[in-house]
Amino acid sequence: MSAPRNQQRFGGSKTDIWVISEGRNAQFDLSEIDGEKVDGSAREYQISDIGCYLLNPQPIEIEKRLIGCEIHAPQRTITKIIEKLKRLLPGRLRSVWNSHMIPPEVLVSHSKIWIPPLKDKTFQSHLFHIYESLRAYDPVSRRLSQLDPHQIAHVIGICKDLGGNLTYLKLQGSIEEKLKYILNYISKNVGVLLRKAYIGDGLFEMRAFDFSTYRPDHSHRLIVFERNGKPQCCVFSSDNTIEFRLDNDDLLKYLFLLQQALADDVKLISAFENCIRNQAKPVKLFFNQKLEVNYAKSPFPKIFRDILNANKIDLNQRNLIRPALNYMQIGISFNYIPQYNGFEENMTTLISVLHDLRALEMLRKKLPQVHNEIQNRVKGSEAGMYYLLDSIEGFNHEE
């Protein structure tokens, strides 16, 4: 089965970026795999390395900056008992009962020193040694060296990601080992394990996918079948061995939507291509099914401006279209960080706004020429009948 190819030219090169092919019915016997019978026929797709990464349920590792920690002191036994009892009480009563719990000491480093990769490795090494010497004067490092491990119950790391979000880092080992880890890696990037690329609610972590190894001619077989009336998925490698299985097909809709956006949005294709060329770092991919871009007063998207001008639609008729554009939108946001000469720029966000054709049903009779032209541009998939309404680009300007 041939995979879909989005062939556009950027800077004289031909891109070939795709996610998932159209499906076809296939007779596929999975009973040899786990000894159970499959209900009816299966459906077969080809997925690229990008699609395989998005579906894969295996843990991934990404880097976050360790900026500090929480130092938890031992609590009295009575305090622990009271805290457990408070959980059984209604929320409004919990604050009334004071257990005299000792709050954790929060240590956060505000160091923003970062050494970019340099061509002169000797000079880079010299800067690194200077940086290591200065780290000893960081208030967090000085405080950590003063702590008595025997007076500590827990140590929890605090990390900051590229978007500025703070998360906890669970540390392994004894209290002494945890303190040593914080001391050695404070203000540095550390490896953090995530359960899988899909975080939830349409959000994917993209930093663990190595775009530089992407090959458009490399594909995986995706088989979707039913067992006991419920859809399941199985992904096979090129040598026909099982890579992983999924208990449902919930994530497939995201692959179809991303395929649609890549087929139509040249900005999104360009961003992906920059990641492949190591000219950008991917961060997050988010499918927002509650997107509310308001076109009531803003200019029409280009696709409508072209159609309205070509058909000489007057102002009153144009106002009939605006309400239809404000609902049934899906936004596909891709966050990435451009890189030039080894230096990272501010984070960039691209939003491909897909619009459901059903939202334009009111135009079928009132403005049939507009409806027909949009309908002709719709490339339906198993996710629905969508077209690219708009492509929005924004930047995160740090102070």
Q: Token digits for 33?
A: 């795999």
CA atoms of 118 and 123, how far apart (whole Å): 8
- pLDDT at position 374, please? 93
Q: What's the mean pLDDT in 307-315?
A: 89
Secondary structure string (H, E, C) spanning the chain: CCCCCCCCEECCEECCCCCECCCEEECCCCHHHHCCCCEEEEEEEEECHHHHHHHCCCCEEEEEEEEEEEEECCCCHHHHHHHHHHCCCCHHHHCCCCCCCCCCEEEECCCCCCCCCCCCHHHHHHHHHHHHHHHCCCHHHHHHHHCCHHHCCEEEEEEECCCCCEEEECCCCCHHHHHHHHHHHCCEEEEEEECCCEEECCEEECCCCCHHHCCCCCCEEEEEEEECCEEEEEEECCCCCEEEEECCCCCHHHHHHHHHHHHHCHHHHHHHHHHHCCCEEEEEEEEECCCCCCCCCCCCCHHHHHHHHHCCCCHHHHHHHHHHHCCCEEEEEEEEEEEECCEECCCEEEEEEEEEHHHHCCHHHHCHHHHHHHHHHCCCECCECEEEEEEEEEECCCC
- Residues 122 and 210 reside in one and the same domain: no
Same domain, 149 and 278: no
Do residue 318 and residue 390 come from a single domain? yes
Give me the pLDDT at residue 133, please. 72
What local confidence, expressed as pLDDT, does residue 40 receive?
A: 64
* CA angle, residues 328, 333, 338, in degrees to nearest 5: 160
Q: 63-77, 112-126, 242-256: which range is least confident on average? A: 112-126
pLDDT digits (tens, 9 = 90+) for 54-68: 999 999 999 999 999
Does 239 map to a domain?
A: no
Q: pTM (2 decimals)?
A: 0.83
| Residue with the larger pLDDT of the pair 163 and 50 | 50
User: Which residues, 6+ apart, have CB-to-CB distance to 246 below 8 Å?
Assistant: 55, 57, 232, 233, 234, 235
With cut-offs at 50, 70 and 90, classify the pLDDT of residue 359: very high
Q: What is the pLDDT of residues 206-226, one digit of tens each?
A: 999 999 999 999 999 999 988
Two structure tokens written together for 309: 């001008």
Same domain? 55 vs 203:
yes
CA 19/CA 260 separation, integer angstroms: 9
Least confident of 31-35, 63-67, 196-200: 31-35
Q: What is the mean pLDDT of residues 354-371?
A: 92
Query: Do 185 and 210 sit in the same domain of this protein?
Result: no
pLDDT (0 to 100) of residue 39: 57
Minimum mean pLDDT among 16-25, 30-39, 153-162: which range? Answer: 30-39
Q: Does a structural domain hold residue 311? A: yes
Residues 280 and 350 occupy one common structural domain: yes
Place of tokens 């090129």: 238
For the ranges 64-68, 171-175, 343-347, which has the lowest average pLDDT? Answer: 343-347
Checking if the pLDDT of 341 tops 70, the result is: no
The Cα–Cα gap between 170 and 202 comes to: 25
Q: How far is CA 178 from CA 134, 140, 173, 257, in A?
A: 22, 14, 6, 43
Evaluate if residue 261 carries a pLDDT over 60. yes
pLDDT tens readout for residues 98-149: 656 788 999 999 876 666 666 777 877 777 777 677 777 788 888 998 999 9
Q: Name 286's bridge partners.
A: 203, 333
256 and 339 together in one domain: yes
The count of structural domains within the chain is: 2
pLDDT band at 7 (very low <50, low <70, confident <90, very high): very low
Shared-domain flag, residues 263 and 210: yes
Residues 167 and 87 in one domain: yes
Token reading at 139: 């208030």
User: Is residue 37 assigned to a domain?
Assistant: no
Tell me which of 267 and 41 has the higher pLDDT: 267
What pLDDT is recorded for position 84? 73
Of the pLDDT bands very low, low, confident and very high (cuts 50, 70, 90), residue 1 is very low
* pLDDT recorded at residue 11: 35
Residue 28 in this model has a pLDDT that exceeds 80? no
**Is residue 164 pLDDT above 70, yes or no?**
yes
Given this model, what pLDDT does residue 113 score? Answer: 64
Domain boundary among 192, 207, 238: 192
Q: Tell me how far apart the alpha carbons of residues 152 and 143 are, in angstroms, rounded to a whole number.
A: 14
What pLDDT score does 377 carry?
A: 87
Task: Assess if residue 335 is contained within a domain.
Answer: yes
Is 241 inside any structural domain?
no
Same domain for 202 and 181: no
> What are 332's strand-pairing partners?
287, 352
Domain extent for 319: 9-24+49-59+198-216+250-395
Q: Do 256 and 279 belong to one domain?
A: yes
| 245 is a domain residue | no
Residue 225 domain-assigned (yes or no): no
Question: Within a domain: residue 115?
Answer: yes
Between 120 and 337, name the one with better pLDDT.
337
